[in-house]
Amino acid sequence: MSDELNNPDIPIPEVLAGSIAITTLDKIYNWGRRSSIWPMMFGLACCAIEMICTAASRYDLSRFGMEVMRASPRQADLMIVSGTVTKKMIPQIVRLYNQMPEPKYVMAMGACASGGGPFKEGYNVVAGVDKFIPVDVYVPGCPPTPQALLHGLIAMQKMIDNQSILDVKWYKREATEAIPIPILGPDLIDPRDYVRSAAAEEKAAEPISTD
């Protein structure tokens, strides 16, 4: 632990080496979160098999403190979207995302979750989960191998390493608003589109200045 946390710019007397670690608040705060990311236990399609494999003994997610897959979004830090995101499934995905407490992260695992994959433009498929929820890390592949998923998780750890307690969104005064749940009718309806089109109509109705 001391090797990871010691600030190399501040010398520690030899007699105290091994007993004292000098670090910054950001570093220890990030170290705690990056070493205990609990993924939510859910999968959508074939990519999920690779995710399950990653959690098994050969690849051993517990090396990263991530082996505790939670069955409840309220106890999870990371949503791994592993598989094809269908229009029928996206309302549930957004609802689960909203139920996760901050700090929370999202990983798009595989071509389907990242952009629709082989089913892009399919009548029933969302062309990327990032159309609805913010994605932190994309893992390419169809399916990505367990090694690729581990690489994505390490990339996420590096992203966390660079965060600062001073500007992370979950300590801002403004509450983070929940993402409106898409509605599945004859086709998928994103409630945010109404707000966008109402704002566009309002802008179009404004009188044109002749100055």
Instruction: State which of residues 73, 117, 146, 182 lies at the interface with ligand SF4 (CB under 6 A).
Output: 117
Q: Which is nearer to ligand SF4, 45 or 78 (CB)?
A: 45
Q: Which long-range contacts (CB under 8 A, 24 or more apart) does 33-36 make?
A: 33/77, 33/103, 33/160, 34/156, 34/157, 34/160, 34/161, 35/64, 35/65, 36/65, 36/66, 36/77
Give the residue, chosen from 78, 112, 125, 153, that forms a contact with ligand SF4 under the rule CB under 6 A: 112
Stretch that binds ligand SF4, among 41-49, 71-79, 168-176, 178-186 (CB under 6 A): 41-49
Q: What count of residues does the chain have?
A: 211
Residue with tokens 């798009």: 108
CA dist., res. 126 & res. 120, Å (int): 7
In the complex, the smallest distance separating the C-beta of residue 72 from ligand SF4, rounded to whole angstroms, is 24
Q: How distant, in Å, are the alpha carbons of 29, 127, 177 from that of 96?
A: 26, 19, 14
Q: Which residues pair with 81 in a beta bridge?
A: 108
User: Cβ distance 74 to 103 under 8 Å?
Assistant: no
- 111 touches ligand SF4 by CB under 6 A: yes
124 binds ligand SF4 (CB under 6 A): no
Nearer to ligand SF4, 120 or 192 (CB): 120
Q: Output the smallest distance, CB 141 to ligand SF4, in A.
A: 7
Considering only residues 39, 73, 83, 152, which one is a binding residue for ligand SF4 as defined by CB under 6 A? 83
Exposed (0-12), middle (13-18) or buried (19+): which is 108, by Cβ within 10 Å? buried
28, 46, 159, 168: which one contacts ligand SF4 (CB under 6 A)? 46
| Closest CB 138 distance from ligand SF4, rounded Å | 12
- Cβ contact 139:106 at 8 Å: no
Residue 140 found at the interface with ligand SF4 (CB under 6 A): no
Point out which residues bind ligand SF4 (CB under 6 A).
45-47, 83-84, 110-112, 117-118, 142-143
